[in-house]
Amino acid sequence: MKSTMLQYEGNVEKAVDRLLQLGVFKSKADIFRIGAMELAAKYGVVKSKEEIIEEMMYKDAEPALHKLKTGKARLHKIEDI
């Protein structure tokens, strides 16, 4: 784990104080950690929440797709159900 000392003032200080007052975050460290992750996702350094969800959905659907492709399962029209 790494540690960094930050100095901030002005609008950043007001924003941090307000987020703590509102109870959005429990600590200043949480605010800066989340901020760093949001920026990393924005600039493509890490996967976004949407990308992770999409991967999870595909992983869950993969066995069913395999069954469809191999003929071990088939889809029915909604009208026939």
**32-53 pLDDT tens trace:** 999 998 899 889 898 887 888 8
Tell whether the model's pLDDT for residue 57 goes beyond 90: no
Q: How high is the pLDDT of residue 33?
A: 92
Tell whether the model's pLDDT for residue 17 goes beyond 90: yes
Which positions ≥6 away from 20 have C-beta within 8 Å?
Answer: 27, 28, 31
Tell whether the model's pLDDT for residue 12 goes beyond 90: yes
Q: How high is the pLDDT of residue 73?
A: 86
In the chain, domain spans: 1-42, 47-73
